[in-house]
């Protein structure tokens, strides 16, 4: 039975990956995400549902914590000091956007309060979707809302920025970025991920699966022990 489930999961992931690869060839930003999502939706419409991946969810959540921690550097803190005015304006505008989004979803789309809040929150689509699973929200609605937000941003912002600033955007292969990561980077990343999974199972604290890898990766950066060059394609 377990072997059959494993084969089904591998087959489904392979099919979704092919869909992502095909859309990536068109040059569309985050084509790997859009393509795999479209394939998954089509399979669901045909009655072929994605298999449960609960046994590996701890590794997924721990990976998210590690990737978030890898973005914390000394230059990040210096930026907070230098651009404090812009950061205050950014936080204020985000709070306004969250509030408006929450009210619109509650009043016009009749979503429940937790789902409306998670749909309105800014953040990585993967992280918010996983959080919605923990809070018993409609995960599909949350994922679709954030996919629309991310797709709208990556499809329109490059043209808007180019129009007003003259900056030209070039496509960088995520495969090339992955190859730029050294074996040491992959080793430290794996250690941080496994540490999060271990702490979750050992101490039965759900928050540790994200917090521990985040703190470890941030510590590696700030102490200069390692510099994890995470490919941008892995950060959505």
Give the N- to C-terminal CA distance of the chain in Å, as an integer. Answer: 33
pTM strictly above 0.75: no
Structure confidence by residue, pLDDT tens digits, 70-82: 888 778 778 888 8
Question: Domains of the chain: which residue ranges?
Answer: 1-52, 53-234
DSSP 61-121: HHHHHHHHHTT--HHHHHHHHHTHHHHHHHHHHHHHHHHHHHHHHHHHS---HHHHHHHHS
Q: Around Cβ 26, how many Cβ atoms within 10 Å?
A: 9
Q: What is the pLDDT, as a whole number, of residue 93? A: 93
Structure confidence by residue, pLDDT tens digits, 117-161: 988 988 777 677 777 766 777 777 887 788 788 777 777 877 787
Q: What is the pLDDT, as a whole number, of residue 195? A: 92
């Amino acid at each position: 039975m377990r072997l059959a489930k494993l084969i089904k999961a591998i087959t489904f992931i392979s099919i979704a990956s092919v869909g992502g690869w095909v859309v990536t060839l068109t040059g569309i930003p985050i084509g790997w995400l859009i393509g795999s999502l479209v394939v998954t939706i089509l399979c669901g419409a045909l009655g072929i549902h994605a298999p449960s991946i609960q046994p590996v969810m701890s590794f997924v959540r721990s990976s998210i914590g590690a990737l978030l921690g890898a973005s914390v550097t000394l230059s990040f803190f210096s930026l907070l000091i230098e651009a404090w005015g812009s950061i205050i304006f950014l936080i204020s505008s985000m709070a306004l956007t969250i509030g408006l989004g929450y009210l619109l979803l509650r009043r016009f789309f009749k979503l429940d309060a937790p789902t409306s809040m998670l749909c309105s929150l800014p953040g990585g689509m993967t992280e918010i979707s996983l959080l919605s699973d923990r809070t018993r929200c409609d995960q599909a609605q949350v994922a679709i809302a954030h996919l629309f937000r991310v797709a709208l941003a990556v499809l329109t912002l490059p043209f808007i920025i180019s129009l007003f600033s003259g900056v030209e955007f070039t496509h960088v292969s995520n495969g090339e970025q992955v190859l730029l990561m050294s074996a040491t980077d992959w080793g430290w990343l794996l250690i941080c991920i496994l540490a999060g999974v271990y702490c979750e199972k050992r101490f039965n604290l759900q928050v540790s699966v994200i917090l521990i890898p985040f703190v470890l990766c941030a510590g590696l950066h700030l102490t200069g022990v390692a510099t994890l060059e995470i490919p941008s394609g892995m950060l959505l």
